[in-house]
Amino acid sequence: MEMAIIGERIKELRIARNMTQVELSEGLCTSSMISQIESGKARPSYQMLSEIADRLQVSMEYFVEDSKPNQEYTTACRAAKMAVAGRNYTQAAELIQLLLNSQKSQQDAVPLLLDLLVCYLELGKRDLAVRLIEMLEREAKQNDEYAMLARMHQHRGTLHAQARDFRKAALEIQRALDTLAHVEKPDPHVHARLLFQLAEAQAKLGRTEEALALSARSTAYFKHARKISDQAHTCLQLAKSASEHAQHRQAILFAERARHLSDVVRQRVEGERCRMGRALWFARNRSSSEEARNLLQETVRRLHKLGNLEEAGLAALQLARLHLQADDVPAAEAARAQAERWIPAAHPARRQLQALQGRLDGKNRRFRQGKRLLQEVADHFYDHRRLFEWEEAVSDLAGVYAEEENYRKASRLLLQARQQNRGVLFERGVCL
């Protein structure tokens, strides 16, 4: 194995163990020797490599054998990232600690440590967070990793903000922005987040003019960094901060911007609703539904991008129905899965989702399950006297019987539903 690879593994394992080059070399060699070994410029003796392995608490074979993470380790890494994304920081921290102590962890040590740092910050473990920041900051400076160094300044700013020291928080975030300027292609998400944090810190200090200017600067990054609804929320938070400092004029400016952004979202959603109505009109009045499906697919994408998941889910439900009408069962199942994710649990359209699943079960020859789901939907609509939805559900149920080639039962259901519905409407004074 090449010495550069051995050096990389020593460095990654040393970082995972939270050790400096001086601590690793103490009583063994100089810290510069460790630095040369890690960079692949020097070759350690067998005795030195054995001692390094002992200090890093691994077997010596770790440095000379191919070490690829197994499937179990990869799955655990994904679970840890999902826990961080889901704000379950206690579970994420415990899982990351286990991963860092496993023999397969060294290839991903730095990303895991960055996730662990986020957990420490969110859990209020200030001492552990400071120690980890110092260690990662030291490594970033040694290797001229400006992106990671900027993140360390950002995290220091977060610590100061948690301690209500907004002056120091603003200084650290400004340092992060200055450091990020040395990166050739900075991450737009990181840049936008830093501008937001600095604007919030300035607003807390009562410097609302600077906060407003920073908010305007961040506009160029909105298309990369945040949905419009998130922008509106941030402006609303800045308005609250300005109001707390009796800067009422600036509070009004931020609030008006938040309202404007909310209006933009509302208008775009209304536009997508019109697009959806146009697509459904095409589906009803033309022999081919291809154009209607394309329109609805674009509507789903745009509504999801706007962050309006409920509207996106309703559009996906309509799209699934059109796919089913065109006998494109895989596309209908995919659209239905999107709708199920985005439509709230208590939404009335959940019954329509259940009916759609019943139709799909019939298409996939799961007749018993499909008939059960559709019967539940039909009973629900009838109990609540939603007669037209009930008749539609019975029609879907008849469709499943037809898929099962029980045409007599299907036709009897349709006839009974029509007669019963007309009778109820006639009793209510509707002339038919």
CA-to-CA dists, residue 397 to 49, 138, 257, 393, angstroms: 73, 67, 50, 6
What architecture does CATH give domain 109-263? Alpha Horseshoe (1.25)
The per-residue pLDDT for range 130-153, each reduced to its tens digit, is 888 888 888 888 777 888 888 888
The pLDDT score that the predictor gives to residue 143 is 78
To the nearest whole percent, how much of the chain has pLDDT over 70?
Answer: 74
Say which range, 52-61, 353-362, 403-412, has the weakest mean pLDDT: 52-61
- If one compares 22 and 223, the residue with the highest pLDDT of the two is 22
* pLDDT level of residue 374 (50, 70, 90 thresholds): confident
The CATH fold assigned to 3-64 is 434 Repressor (Amino-terminal Domain) (1.10.260)
- The pLDDT tens digits for 57-94 are 776 666 655 455 555 566 667 677 767 766 778 888 88
Helix (H, G, I), strand (E, B) or coil at 206: coil
Please, are residues 242 and 226 in contact by the beta-carbon 8 Å criterion? Answer: no
**CA distance readout (Å), 20 to 4, 33, 100, 116:** 19, 13, 17, 19
pLDDT of 421 reads 67
Tokens of 363: 């298409």
Q: Does 128 score more than 80 pLDDT?
A: yes
- Tokens matching residue 212: 């407003």
- Provide DSSP, 139-152: HHHHTT-HHHHHHH
**Domain range annotation of the chain:** 3-64, 109-263, 348-432
Measured torsion, CA atoms of residues 98, 49, 141, 117, in degrees rounded to the nearest 10: 10
- Give me the mean pLDDT over the 375-394 stretch: 80
Residues 81-109 have a mean pLDDT of 70
Of 171 and 101, the structure prediction assigns the larger pLDDT to: 171
Calpha distance 119→126 (Å, rounded):
11
pTM: 0.41
Per-residue pLDDT band for 158 (boundaries 50, 70, 90) equals: confident
What pLDDT does residue 296 have? 77
What average pLDDT does this structure show over 374-403? Answer: 81
DSSP-assigned states of every residue in 218-246: GGGGHHHH--HHHHHHHHHHHHHHHHHTT
Query: How high is the pLDDT of residue 259?
Result: 74
pLDDT digits (tens, 9 = 90+) for 304-313: 776 677 778 8
Interval 218-229: pLDDT, tens: 655 544 444 566
- Are the CB atoms for 170 and 157 separated by under 8 Å? yes
Supply the mean pLDDT for the chain.
Answer: 75
* Tokens describing residue 87: 């704000």
pLDDT reported for residue 33: 86
Q: Which of 206-210, 223-227, 231-235, 412-416 has the highest mean pLDDT?
A: 412-416
Whole-number pLDDT of residue 11: 82
Q: In this model, does residue 429 exceed pLDDT 60?
A: no
Residue 352 has pLDDT above 50, yes or no: yes
For residues 343 and 310, the answer to whether their CB atoms sit within 8 Å is: yes
Please list, in sequence order, all residues whose beta carbon lies within 8 angstroms of the beta carbon of residue 350, skipping any fewer than 6 positions away.
343
Lowest mean pLDDT segment, chosen from 133-137, 167-171, 275-279: 275-279
Residue 49's pLDDT band, with cuts at 50, 70 and 90, is: confident
430 pLDDT tier (thresholds 50, 70, 90): very low
Average pLDDT for residues 361-385, to the nearest whole number? 83
Question: Looking at residues 373-378, what average pLDDT do you find?
Answer: 85
Q: Are residues 291 and 299 in contact, defined by beta-carbon separation less than 8 angstroms?
A: no
pLDDT at position 278 is 53
Kindly state the average pLDDT of the residues 88-112.
Answer: 71
Amino acid occupying residue 236: L
Ranking 21-30, 176-185, 263-272 by mean pLDDT, the lowest is 263-272
Question: Can 3-64 and 109-263 be said to share one CATH topology?
Answer: no
pLDDT (mean) for 87-112: 71
Residue type, 70: N
More confident residue, 422 or 119: 119
231 has a pLDDT exceeding 70: no
- Check residue 218 and give its pLDDT: 62
**Cα angle: 319, vertex 330, 75; to 5 degrees:** 110
CA distance 94 to 101: 11
Q: Is the pLDDT of residue 350 over 80?
A: yes
The confidence score (pLDDT) of residue 220 equals 53
